[in-house]
């Protein structure tokens, strides 16, 4: 124990003295001995810190192939001149902070990025501002890195010639925190990225998805805000994803979802808020997913179940003032709805245990009709529709008759 | 015309039924606001009530007033007064007194609960406009029915039937036709079919406020344009205007030719 302390103290002393004496401090500015970042990087030795002073540097393809700390002061601007990647990181333990990167060239054959990290470990990318980008931060086969507190502001207009804000490809154990991502194609895109954590980010006004998972397992995302994205958030072909306390809102449009789940197994969706989306959650081919304590408020459809979904559990969620609470396109149901609060529940609780005595049927006949003939949506809230809904409620013919919440909550959680 | 309007109006606001109507709205909105302090929620609930109730009351009141004041009308017809001004005066008297009950009955509680400080004021004005429009439309339709039918019982039954048709049956037929012809492109038909029913038009005004998220879930471009922009609001309001004007013109036309 004592020896452990001694070792760590020794390490700290060594580290600090090392940083000041062994490792060089290189300054780059318009009047310094180095005026080009590329040259400074080439001259630097492993572990050096490069201090980048205020100014505009017109450079691209800056290749960092040794452990370095590239630190900006007052947001120096690196202008990529619309040609290629701006910074390429090929070495472990690289840290980049406080820099503004602009003008990444767009291309139809190559994915140019403001910062590309390839096959590197233990990197930190923080306090960066990225503007006029194609891809923002591109991590390929990287691991154990941190991407935090960056502002990525794209100006994407159409999907085919725009890139993603933060893209992960075959990357593991990456932490993405407190970033703001706007107006790119996909805010954050994960492909074959496992064990990543995505927290406290804001991803909005993106052309396609705010956050997009593909073939990525064991990831977690929490406390993010996804707002006004072209198609919301998509989680596809992934296993064991944990989604907690995120805010999905204002995703409006025909193919727009708060959250789109496709081929998702064993996920946890807990304490999220879905507000004013055309569809809160669209579920397709997803099994053993637990939906706990989420709030669905003022959505067109709170939950749309498209088929091939088995053994999902919806427990203690709040369904508040949605046009449709749950929609099914078949008569088969293998999912459990229990102890949710439904704002349109009209039952009573005579024994006062907090649970309604009459089961609630969340699927209305009208939602079945709208599934079949979408134009009938125009008859929503008509007296006639209320009447047929009521008769269906009394004796279900078209909707799954075992789809009931046996003990709905009387008060919202 | 103004004199007759004034007479009908004051005759009606002295009657017991106007007070009952006014009290009903007062009570309804006070209870709603008492249970739920949120003004915008209360507005939405009231919209649902109004699109069913206002047409019913308008039709019944219109028919009832016409038949009750028939002797007085015949007396007036003996005087040198233009026929159209007699009937339009009576019509406006009924419609305005109903609108006044509606506006006061809903307005007083909402103002007391701080309407002017809240953001619900636009929705509330839309509610009042819709309510007023529906009153004008259905009172006019009721007068038309009464003018065409001398028999009281017949007139009443037609009036009730009209309400039932527009409030419930029309939507049923509409829904059936949509399902039967589901393989055809239907979005234009859908929008046109709603314009033939003032209750549906008012309902769409509510949907635009309440369920816009769900409405945008449909893929038709015509729908998108109609609901995604202010086009829907203006189209619905102007069609409602046409629904007021046409029956009123018919009252004037029929009144000129009718034998008493």
Dig out the tokens for A221 from the structure.
């995302």
Residue A332 lies in a domain: yes
- A373 to chain B: which residues are within 8 Å by CB? 178-179, 182, 186
pLDDT above 70 (res A12):
no
Percent of chain B surpassing pLDDT 70 = 97
The answer to whether residue B210 neighbours chain A at the CB level (below 8 Å) is yes
Residue A19 pLDDT: 46
CATH number of residue A269's parent domain: 2.160.20.10
The pair of three-digit structure tokens given for residue A159, joined into one six-digit string? 């999907």
Which long-range contacts does A195-201 make (Cβ < 8 Å, 24+ apart)? A195/A219, A196/A168, A196/A171, A196/A172, A196/A220, A197/A221, A197/A222, A198/A222, A198/A224, A199/A175, A199/A223, A199/A224, A200/A224, A201/A176, A201/A177, A201/A225
ipTM surpasses cut 0.90: no
Range in A30-39, A73-82, B4-13, B143-152 the model is least confident about: B4-13
| Chain A interface includes B200 (CB < 8 A) | yes
Q: What is the pLDDT of residue B186?
A: 84
Question: Does some domain include residue A343?
Answer: yes
Judging contacts by C-beta atoms under 8 Å, the chain A residues touching residue B220 are: 374-375
A276 touches chain B (CB under 8 A): yes
Residues of A in contact with B194 (CB under 8 A): 378
Please enumerate in sequence order all residues whose Cβ is within 8 A of that of A182, keeping only pairs 6 or more positions apart, or say none.
A152, A153, A154, A203, A204, A205, A206
Among A224, A182, A226, A225, residue whose Cα is nearest residue A206: A182
B9 touches B97 (CB < 8 A): yes
What pLDDT, on the 0 to 100 scale, is given for residue A18? Answer: 45
pLDDT in tens, A98-132: 999 999 988 888 889 999 999 999 999 999 999 99
From residue B147, give the alpha-carbon distance in Å to each of A239, B91, B191, B248. 72, 12, 31, 12
* Section A258-273 average pLDDT: 95
User: Pick from A80, A173, A77, A72: which is nearest to A126 by CA?
Assistant: A72
pLDDT bucket at A4, cuts 50 / 70 / 90? low
Contact B216 A369 (CB under 8 A): no
Tokens of B167: 């409030």
CA distance A328 to chain B (A): 15
A6 domain-assigned: no
CB contacts under 8 A, B 232-251 vs A, are none
Phi-psi region of A60 (alpha: psi -120 to 50; beta: other; left: phi over 0): beta
Could you please report the per-residue DSSP string of B186-201?
Answer: -HHHHHHHHHT-HHHH
How many angstroms away from the CA of A46 is the closest CA of chain B? 55
Burial class from Cβ neighbours inside 10 Å (0-12, 13-18, 19+) for residue A3 reads exposed
Asked if B217 has any chain A CB less than 8 Å from its own CB, the reply is yes
Across B120-144, average pLDDT: 91
Distance (Å, whole) CA B133 – CA B243? 9
* DSSP label at residue A169: E
Nearest to A405 by CA among A333, A352, A350, A353: A333
At A274-295, the pLDDT tens digits run 998 989 999 999 999 999 999 9
Is the distance from CB of B8 to CB of B87 less than 8 angstroms?
Answer: no
- Give the pLDDT confidence of B105-129 residue by residue, as tens digits: 999 998 988 878 877 788 888 889 9
CB contact at 8 A, B217 and A376:
no
A317-332 pLDDT, tens digit per residue, is 999 988 899 998 877 7
What is the torsional sign of CA B204, B206, B212, B214?
negative
The stretch A341-360 carries a mean pLDDT of 90
**pLDDT higher than threshold 70 for residue B91:** yes
Q: A219 — phi, psi (to 5°)?
A: -100, 165
Asked if the C-beta of B173 comes within 8 angstroms of chain A's C-beta atoms, the answer is no
Does A175 map to a domain?
A: yes
Across the range B224-228, mean pLDDT stands at 75
For the stretch A35-82, pLDDT in tens is: 999 999 999 999 999 999 999 999 989 999 999 999 999 999 999 998
Question: Confidence class of residue A3 from pLDDT cuts 50, 70 and 90?
Answer: low
Closest CA to A119 of A136, A143, A95, A145: A143
A44 inside domain: no
Q: Is the pLDDT of residue A24 over 90?
A: no
Q: Which of A377, A380, A390 to probe by mutation at the B interface, max B CB count within 10 Å?
A: A377
Higher pLDDT, A15 or A265: A265
Shortest CB distance from A379 goes to which of B171, B216, B224?
Answer: B171
Kindly tell me if the per-residue pLDDT of A1 is higher than 60: no
Of A20-24, A150-154, B123-127, B174-178, which gets the smallest average pLDDT? A20-24
What is the rounded CA–CA span in Å between residue B142 and residue B247?
Answer: 9
Predicted local distance difference test score (pLDDT) of residue A217: 94
b/e map B227-246, b = 16+ CB within 10 Å: beeeebbebbbeebeebbee
Say yes or no to pLDDT of A7 above 70: no
Smallest Cβ–Cβ distance between A379 and the set B174, B218, B219 belongs to: B174
Output the pTM of the full model. 0.84
What are the sequence ranges of the domains in chain B?
2-257
pLDDT at A183 over 90: yes
Which pLDDT band holds residue A156 (cuts at 50, 70, 90)?
confident
- Residue pair A371/A329 in contact by the 8 Å Cβ criterion: yes
- CB pair distance less than 8 Å for B190 and A299: no
Question: Chain A residues with CB inside 8 Å of B166's CB?
Answer: none
A277 touches chain B (CB under 8 A): yes
* pLDDT of amino acid A5: 59
Nearest by CB: A374 against B48, B213, B218 = B218
Please compute the mean of the pLDDT values over residues A399-412 and round it to a whole number.
88
Helix, strand counts (H, E) of chain A: 4, 39
A377 CA: distance to closest CA in chain B (Å)? 7
Note down the domain range covering A332: 106-394
Q: Burial, A215: exposed, middle or buried (Cβ in 10 Å; 0-12, 13-18, 19+)?
A: middle
The predicted-structure confidence for A207-234, as pLDDT tens digits, reads as follows: 999 999 999 999 999 999 999 998 889 9
> Computed over its alpha carbons, how large is the radius of gyration of chain A?
26
Is residue A370 helix, strand or coil? helix
Q: How many CB pairs under 8 A join A and B?
A: 96
The share of chain A scoring above pLDDT 70, in percent, equals 95
A381–B207 CB contact, under 8 Å: yes
Rg of chain B taking only CA atoms, in angstroms: 20
Residue B43 touches partner A, C-beta closer than 8 Å? no
- Residues 6+ positions from B214 with CB-CB distance below 8 Å: A278, A299, A300, A301, A323, A324, A377, A380
Shortest Cα–Cα distance, B67 to chain A (Å): 30
What are the tokens at A68? 């370095």
Nearest-neighbour CA in chain A from B188: distance (Å): 10
Q: How confident is the model at residue A17 (pLDDT cuts 50, 70, 90)?
A: very low
Instruction: List b or e across B85-106, with b for residues whose CB sees 16 or more CB atoms inside 10 angstroms.
Output: bbbbbbbbbbbbbbbbbbeebb
Q: Are B83 and B77 in contact (CB under 8 A)?
A: yes
Q: Looking at the predicted structure, is the pLDDT value of residue B49 above 80?
A: yes
- The answer to whether A375 contacts B179, with C-beta atoms less than 8 Å apart, is no
Q: Is A22 helix (H, G, I), strand (E, B) or coil?
A: helix
- Which stretches of A175-278 are DSSP H helices? none
Instruction: Indicate whether A345 belongs to any domain.
Output: yes
- Weakest mean pLDDT among A233-237, A401-405, B80-84, B171-175: B80-84
Number of structural domains chain A divides into = 1
């Amino acid at each position: 124990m004592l020896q452990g302390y001694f070792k760590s103290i020794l390490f700290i002393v060594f580290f600090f003295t090392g940083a000041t004496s062994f490792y060089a401090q290189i300054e780059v500015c318009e009047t310094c001995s180095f005026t080009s970042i590329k040259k400074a990087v080439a001259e630097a030795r492993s572990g050096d810190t490069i201090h980048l002073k205020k100014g505009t540097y017109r450079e691209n393809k800056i290749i960092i192939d040794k452990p370095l700390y590239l630190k900006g002061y007052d947001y120096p601007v690196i202008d990529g001149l619309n040609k290629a990647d701006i910074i390429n990181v090929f070495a472990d333990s690289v840290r980049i902070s406080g820099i503004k990167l602009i003008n990444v060239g767009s291309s139809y054959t190559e994915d140019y990025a403001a910062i590309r990290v390839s096959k590197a470990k233990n990197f930190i990318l923080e306090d960066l501002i990225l503007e006029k980008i194609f891809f923002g931060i591109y991590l390929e086969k990287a691991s154990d890195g941190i991407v935090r507190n960056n502002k990525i502001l794209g100006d994407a207009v159409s999907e085919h010639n725009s890139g993603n804000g933060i893209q992960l490809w075959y990357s593991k154990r990456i932490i993405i925190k407190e970033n703001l991502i706007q107006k790119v194609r996909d805010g954050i895109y994960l492909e074959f990225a496992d064990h990543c954590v995505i927290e406290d980010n804001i991803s909005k006004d993106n052309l396609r998805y705010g956050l997009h998972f593909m073939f990525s397992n064991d990831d977690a995302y929490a406390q993010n805000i996804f707002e006004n994205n072209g198609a919301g958030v998509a989680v596809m072909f992934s296993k064991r994803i944990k989604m907690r306390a995120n805010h999905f809102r204002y995703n409006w449009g025909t193919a727009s979802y708060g959250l789109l789940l496709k081929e998702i197994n064993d996920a946890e969706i807990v304490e999220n808020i879905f507000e004013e989306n055309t569809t809160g959650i669209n579920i397709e081919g997803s099994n053993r997913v637990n939906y706990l304590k989420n709030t669905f408020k003022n959505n067109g459809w709170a939950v749309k179940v498209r088929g091939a979904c088995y053994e999902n559990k919806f427990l203690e969620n709040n369904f508040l003032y949605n046009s449709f609470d749950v929609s099914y396109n078949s008569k088969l149901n293998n999912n459990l709805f229990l102890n949710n609060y439904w704002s349109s529940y009209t039952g009573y609780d005579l024994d006062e245990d907090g649970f309604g005595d009459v089961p609630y049927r969340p699927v209305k006949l009208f939602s079945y009709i709208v599934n079949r003939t979408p134009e009938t949506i125009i008859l929503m809230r008509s007296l006639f529709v209320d009447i047929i809904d009521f008769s269906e409620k009394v004796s279900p013919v078209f909707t799954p008759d075992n789809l009931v919440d046996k003990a709905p909550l009387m008060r919202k959680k | 015309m103004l004199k007759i309007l004034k007479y009908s109006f004051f005759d009606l606001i002295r009657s017991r039924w106007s007070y009952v109507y006014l009290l009903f709205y007062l009570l309804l909105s006070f209870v709603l606001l008492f249970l739920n302090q949120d003004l915008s929620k209360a507005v939405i609930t009231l919209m649902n009530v109004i699109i069913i109730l206002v047409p019913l009351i308008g039709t019944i009141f219109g028919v009832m007033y016409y038949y009750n004041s028939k002797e007085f009308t015949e007396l007036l017809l003996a005087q040198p007064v233009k026929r159209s001004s007699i009937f339009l005066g009576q019509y406006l008297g009924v419609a305005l007194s109903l609108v006044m009950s509606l506006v006061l009955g809903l307005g007083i509680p909402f103002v007391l609960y701080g309407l002017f400080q809240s953001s619900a004021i636009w929705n509330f004005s839309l509610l009042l406009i819709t309510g007023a429009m529906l009153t004008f439309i259905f009172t006019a339709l009721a007068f038309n029915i009464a003018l065409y039918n001398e028999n009281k019982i017949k007139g009443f039954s037609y009036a009730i039937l009209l309400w039932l048709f527009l409030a419930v049956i029309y939507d049923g037929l509409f829904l059936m036709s949509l399902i039967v012809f589901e393989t055809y492109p239907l979005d234009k038909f859908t929008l046109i079919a709603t314009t033939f029913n003032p209750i549906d038009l008012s309902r769409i005004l509510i949907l635009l406020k309440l369920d816009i998220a769900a409405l945008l879930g449909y893929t038709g471009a015509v729908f998108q344009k109609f609901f995604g922009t202010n086009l829907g609001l203006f189209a619905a309001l102007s069609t409602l205007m046409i629904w007021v004007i046409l029956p009123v013109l018919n009252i004037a036309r029929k009144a000129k030719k009718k034998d008493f």
